[in-house]
Amino acid sequence: ENKQMAASQEDGDDAGEFTRLFTSYLGLSFAIFLGSLPRNSIPLVSLLQSKNQALSRELADAEDQLRQLLSRRKEDSKANARVVEIFASHRHAWQQEEKKLLQQIDECNDEIAYLKGKVEDSERAEADLKAANDELKREISEKDEMLNFMSRGGGNVPVSGGLDLVGVEDNFSGGGGQVIEEFGTLYSHRLSGSDDYFNAASKFSLFQDLQQESSEPVKHFVARRELPWKVDGGGVSPKLKSLEQELLNLDRIRASKIPGQLQKQAKRYQTLAAKLDDLCRRMQTSDPCDASLSPEFRSQRQTEFLLEAFRLQQRASETGQKLMALQSYWCDGVEIDVAARRSVDSIRNNLKEVQRNLEIWLARIIGDLEGILARESSSSGSRTREYYNNASCRYPFGQ
């Protein structure tokens, strides 16, 4: 232990001596440094100290500015992040709006193509109407020639429909043929736009349901058989009932707007058929050969029936045009399955059949009424024509 203590004491003495030696070395080195300095270096020390203080202040200011810059950068980064989020949300909205606009453009293009097709169909229909108009003018001229021939009298040559030229010459004597010609011309002008009537009724003669039974002024007006329009209406009601059942079946097969459009079209035909039934009932209760009524009153009543038939004929023509529009819609842009397509085709055929039956029904009614009015014009003369002109002002749809 004594040795250790002596060794540690020697080490401590050596360390103290080294410290004193190092301190002396530093002091001597500093003294030599100061001695080697030039004489004017002492004021430079104070100058350097002042510069050091200035640089320290500038360093503190720079550090402060750097801290402010870092805080501003953080705030700017946060603001930029918010701007990016807002722009991203707006960009999504812009993309959705762009998709909507592109979809609208596609729909508009489809609508333009559909309208172009409709325009082409209208042009074709216009050409067909012009051709039908020319055909009607030709038929009217032929009928005028027939009426002129009948008014002049042509011997005892029999005429189809049960009339005899001998009876015709007796009935139309005294200027009656001219009245018939004027009356037929007047009706031809009223019917110049009704091509459906002549298409359905061109094969029926004006006097097909009449025959000459006696020379009495009333008896020869009696029809030789049941009026055909009493029978024609029987085929419409069963078709409408069958059509209603098929529409119910289609509604169960496919839920879309097609059954609604078909039901609207069927409703139009039901309304038109009901009006025709009402007209036929009133015509049946009104006897055109009632001797107790004056000829003017009979002509007035039959003319009112005829004007109403003209209005219903126009309604039927408009309904047929709507049916054609529906058919073009089905053929153009509607995609349905096989079962629904089969049901739609069956309904479409039934609608066509109902349209054709209604047109034939109306054509027979109008033909019978024109025949009655043409016969009565031989006795009532220009009074019927005058009443018809007055009635046309009250019933503009008959024009």
Per-residue pLDDT of the chain (399 residues; tens, 9 = 90+): 666 777 777 777 777 788 888 888 888 888 887 777 767 766 777 888 888 999 999 999 999 999 999 999 999 999 999 999 998 888 888 999 999 999 999 999 999 999 999 999 899 899 889 988 888 888 888 777 767 766 664 444 333 333 333 333 344 344 444 444 444 444 444 444 444 444 444 443 333 344 434 333 433 343 333 454 554 555 677 777 777 777 777 766 655 556 677 778 888 888 888 888 888 888 888 766 665 667 777 778 888 888 888 988 998 899 888 888 877 776 655 566 676 777 777 888 888 888 888 888 888 888 888 888 887 665 544 444 444 444 444 433 333
Tell me the backbone φ, ψ of residue 298, rounded to 5 degrees. -65, -45
Domain assignment present for residue 184? The answer is: no
301 belongs to a structural domain = yes
Examine the domain organization and report whether 283 and 392 are in the same domain.
Answer: yes
Instruction: Tell me if 365 sits within 8 A of 279, measured CB to CB.
Output: yes
Residue 79 tokens read as 């603001």
**Res 149: pLDDT:** 65
Considering the domain boundaries, does residue 187 fall inside one? no
- The 10 Å Cβ neighbour count of residue 169 is 18
Q: Are 102 and 238 members of one domain?
A: no
One domain, residues 338 and 237:
yes
Q: Specify the 3-state DSSP secondary structure of 271.
A: helix
- Same-domain status, 244 and 368: yes
Domain boundary among 138, 158, 189: 138
Instruction: Let me know whether 384 and 264 are in one domain.
Output: yes
Say how many C-beta atoms besides its own lie within 10 A of residue 39's C-beta.
Answer: 6
Q: How far is CA 378 from the centre of its chain?
A: 51
Please state the three-class secondary structure of 93-107 as a single string. Answer: HHHHHHHHHHHHHHH
The answer on 390 and 245 residing in a single domain is yes
> Helix or strand or coil: residue 250?
helix
Which residues does 340 contact at the CB level (< 8 Å), separation at least 6?
Answer: 250, 253, 254, 258
Threshold 0.85, pTM exceeds: no
Question: Is residue 179 situated within a structural domain?
Answer: no
4 in a structural domain: no
Query: Given 138, 159, 175, which residue is the final one in a domain?
Result: 138
Q: Are residues 234 and 339 in the same domain?
A: yes
The candidate with the shortest Cα–Cα distance to 377, out of 162, 141, 186, 214, is 186
Quick check: is 237 in a domain?
Answer: yes
Closest CA to 246 of 347, 351, 340, 338: 347
Helix axes 338-380, 236-253, angle to 10 degrees: 160
Whether 133 and 245 share a structural domain: no
Give 153's contacts (C-beta < 8 A, 6+ positions apart): 165, 168, 169
In which region does residue 113 sit, left (phi positive, over 0), alpha (psi from -120 to 50) or beta (all else)? Answer: alpha
Kindly state whether residue 27 falls inside one of the protein's structural domains.
no
* Burial readout 238-247 (b: 16 or more C-beta within 10 A, e: otherwise): ebbeebeebb
- Quick one: 124 and 236 in the same domain? no
- For residue 158, give the H/E element and its range: strand 158-159
154 backbone dihedrals φ, ψ, rounded to 5°: -130, 35
368 shares its domain with 236: yes
Claim to verify: residue 248 and residue 385 sit in the same structural domain: yes
CA dist list (Å): 140 to 134, 186, 284, 314, 336: 10, 11, 29, 20, 46
* Interatomic CA distance for residues 277 and 274, integer angstroms: 5
20 inside domain? no
For residue 302, give its domain range: 227-398
User: How many structural domains comprise the chain?
Assistant: 2
Q: 115, 138, 161 — which closes off a domain?
A: 138
